[in-house]
């Protein structure tokens, strides 16, 4: 393991930060910022692979499958975070997008470093979730060698699921067995081996791209607004009203009233207002349009 670790890009010393401990606070901050500027460029280089992954995710979710992130440490926390944010933002079910972290949910708030070394536990997590051929499993590991993640990916392939590997290191010996590899090469960290920095930032950017683009392609967004959000808090309730006001031009009070008539569905309320339809008619149009508001509005226009 020592030899393998020594060869990883993220474990190299960064020549641009060799004298970090002699710098002022301002200089350290500027160095970190300059290194962070490299992250977006590294992610941009991977857009073709991210595109392939999104295509697979959309296909899986569109046919009743699930997106399951698997990671350890910072990588695992980012996967759980992205999964947790999808239900309130895009109205997904709780099981459609899941996050699995080595060491369980306790590892979200307290590091459990040894948990990442147990490949068999990664395998067991997928078995427990009944992963199958309709699902897609995304392994996340900055180092590209985390046993928990590799074990989960191997089991996912055995169970017939599609697989994606998100990492920050090129393979020095052999290719990872995954259908798609996304590897934004951000280079050595500001502090040697601290992959909670640039590598994690790249991972967060990629995860944002995967789920956001997939949700757009699944009809969860109208123009550039979230219209399938769940009004589970005062903020989200008010955002629902504001979206409806922007799209249709109605007043605040009318937006609140129409949302109530639409059962809290922003999508349904948009169709009801713009096409002067009842709730059942608007819902039927949305079903025919596979949930896309734009397509439903066009369909209603053809019928009038």
Domain CATH code at residue 55: 3.40.50.10490
On the question of pLDDT at 1 being above 90, the answer is: no
Asked which of 194-203, 208-217, 222-231 is least confident by mean pLDDT, the reply is 222-231
- The residues facing 221 across adjacent strands are 226
On the question of pLDDT at 304 being above 70, the answer is: no
* pLDDT at position 171: 60
304 token code pair: 């009038």
241-286 pLDDT tens trace: 999 999 999 999 999 999 999 999 999 999 999 999 999 999 999 9
pLDDT band at 10 (very low <50, low <70, confident <90, very high): confident
Residues 72 and 10 in one domain: yes
Residues 166 and 271 in one domain: no
pLDDT band at 170 (very low <50, low <70, confident <90, very high): confident
* pLDDT at position 243: 95
Domain edge (last residue) among 217, 233, 259? 217
Residues 198 and 239 in one domain: no
Residues 203 and 244 in one domain: no
On the question of pLDDT at 5 being above 70, the answer is: no
- For the segment 132-142, the average pLDDT, to the nearest whole number, is 96
Residues 149 and 235 in one domain: no
pLDDT band at 2 (very low <50, low <70, confident <90, very high): low
CB 250 within 8 A of CB 262: no
Q: Which of 35, 116, 125, 189 is flagged as catalytic? A: 116
CATH, residue 275 = 1.10.8.1080
Residues 205 and 292 in one domain: no
12-51 pLDDT tens trace: 889 999 999 999 999 999 999 999 999 999 999 999 999 9
- For the segment 44-62, the average pLDDT, to the nearest whole number, is 97
pLDDT band at 172 (very low <50, low <70, confident <90, very high): very low
Domain edge (last residue) among 169, 186, 217? 217
On the question of pLDDT at 88 being above 60, the answer is: yes
Domain edge (last residue) among 182, 217, 252? 217
Q: How many domains does the chain have?
A: 2
- For the segment 287-302, the average pLDDT, to the nearest whole number, is 89
* pLDDT at position 173: 44
102-132 pLDDT tens trace: 998 888 888 776 778 789 999 999 999 999 9
- For the segment 211-220, the average pLDDT, to the nearest whole number, is 97
Residues 144 and 231 in one domain: no
Residues 191 and 235 in one domain: no
Measure the CA–CA gap between 25 and 30, rounded to whole angstroms: 9
**Four-point Cα dihedral 42, 222, 227, 241, nearest 10:** 120
* pLDDT at position 107: 86
Residues 156 and 288 in one domain: no
Q: Which of 59, 85, 238, 281 is flagged as catalytic? A: 85
pLDDT band at 7 (very low <50, low <70, confident <90, very high): low
On the question of pLDDT at 191 being above 50, the answer is: yes
Residues 227 and 119 in one domain: no
Residues 209 and 226 in one domain: no
Is 116 known to be catalytic? yes
Domain holding 95, by residue range, is: 2-217
Residues 77 and 191 in one domain: yes
């Amino acid at each position: 393991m020592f030899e393998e670790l020594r060869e990883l890009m993220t474990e190299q010393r960064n020549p641009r930060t060799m004298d970090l401990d002699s710098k002022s606070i301002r200089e350290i901050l500027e160095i970190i910022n300059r290194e962070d500027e490299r992250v977006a460029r590294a992610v941009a280089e991977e857009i073709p692979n991210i595109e392939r992954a999104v295509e697979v995710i959309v296909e899986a979710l569109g046919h009743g499958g699930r997106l399951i992130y698997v990671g350890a440490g910072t990588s695992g926390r980012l996967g759980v975070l992205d999964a947790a944010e999808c239900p309130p933002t895009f109205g997904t079910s709780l099981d459609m997008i899941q996050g699995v972290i080595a060491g369980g949910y306790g590892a979200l708030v307290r590091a459990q470093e040894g948990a990442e070394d147990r490949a068999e536990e990664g395998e067991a997590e997928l078995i427990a979730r009944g992963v199958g051929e309709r699902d897609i499993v995304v392994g996340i590991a900055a180092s590209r060698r985390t046993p928990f993640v590799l074990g989960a990916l191997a089991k996912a392939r055995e169970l017939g699921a599609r697989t994606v590997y998100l990492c920050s290191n090129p393979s020095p010996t052999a290719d990872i067995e995954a259908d798609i590899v996304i590897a934004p090469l951000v280079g050595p960290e500001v502090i040697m081996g601290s992959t909670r920095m640039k590598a994690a930032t790249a991972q967060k950017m990629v995860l944002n791209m995967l789920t956001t683009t997939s949700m757009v392609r699944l009809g969860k967004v109208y123009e550039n607004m979230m219209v399938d959000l769940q009004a589970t808090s005062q903020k989200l309730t008010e955002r629902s009203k504001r979206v409806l006001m922007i799209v249709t031009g109605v007043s605040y009070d009318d937006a609140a009233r129409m949302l109530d008539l639409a059962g809290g569905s922003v999508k349904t309320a948009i169709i009801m207002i713009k096409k002067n339809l009842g709730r059942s008619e608007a819902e039927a149009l949305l079903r025919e349009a596979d949930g896309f508001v734009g397509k439903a509005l066009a369909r209603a226009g053809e019928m009038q």
